[in-house]
Structure 1
Amino acid sequence: MYRKFIATVAAASIAITALGSAPAYADDRDVARALAAILGIAVVGKIIHDNNKKKEREVTRRHTAPVYTAPHRYNQPRVQQRRYNQHIQPRPLPRHVRNDKLLPSQCFRSFDTRSGPVRMFGNRCLQNNFRHANRLPQHCKVRVKTYNGKRTGYQARCLRDAGYRLARG
């Protein structure tokens, strides 16, 4: 809208300039007419400017305002109170924590030989205290000569490499 107003003022000034190129004689009436014309153009420009300001103040929304909705409530499951002397059954251990490959610590012994001490799991102790003694890897089985005779057992490093561990406690 400003462009139209400026274009109108520019056109009016060019027209007045063209009229002003006539011989310079002016009486009071011509000066009054020119001032009235300029005043009229200024009033029209002010009206247009005020009208544009009113339009700028008005806000038009093309989308609806968001509506607040309360979030869903989470109801926690109720935990039953333990009754006095009520035994809780323990959950089974996961597969990777099972004690199938936990060897009893009392079977881990050090035997003295001519070449130095040998640390191994005694065969007879494992047969008595380890349920899966028959499943132990046979390539870990060794026979050692000690000062008290021959001993049969399983090398600790070999069993560790096969996935067996020493049960602590």
Structure 2
Amino acid sequence: MSRKFIAAVLAASLAITTFSAAPARADGKDALKLIGAAGALYLLGNSIAQARERAEDERKKDKRKKEEKARQEAHAKQWRERHENRRDERHDARRTDPPRVVGPAFGQRRDAQYVLPARCMMRIEGGGSRYAFDRDCMTNAGVRTSRLPDACEMYVRDGGRKERAFDGACLRRNGYGLEAVRQSGPNLPRPYRRQY
């Protein structure tokens, strides 16, 4: 290399070092400011990182909850599909509702959904209804009277005593029918009077 080039580079480097040496001096206050600023930046960065981690954890937690809920709903749907169809096949003496009509062989109306025992039917006089069903008799026959329509419930008098009964016409309108009677005529008890 040429001597002139080396001398120029050396002169430039000496000139730069002399100019930058004076402002580079820092006293104690400047050092504290620098350390404080670095600490503040560290704390800010740390809090941002923690906030991101919390947000990510919440997102994962919500995702797990949604997956668990979907899994439970799928399981419940699968269980219902398996077991609801077998509800009528159970051999349970204590039925929760009156037995369903299985065909037109039972007589009465073809669209009747439920069958009521014929031995509980009674003839009443007055009040516009011709037949009623004794509540105590139906309870003893295994019919859950609490599931019958409330609008069909009425009181009848047997002498001075009031008894609860269900209006036959109202029950028929609500889909209830009479079981098949194998006798020549219906087995009807003595007449009752309906209370007004």
Using structure 1 for the length normalisation, give the TM-score.
Answer: 0.37
TM-score for the superposition, normalised by structure 2: 0.32
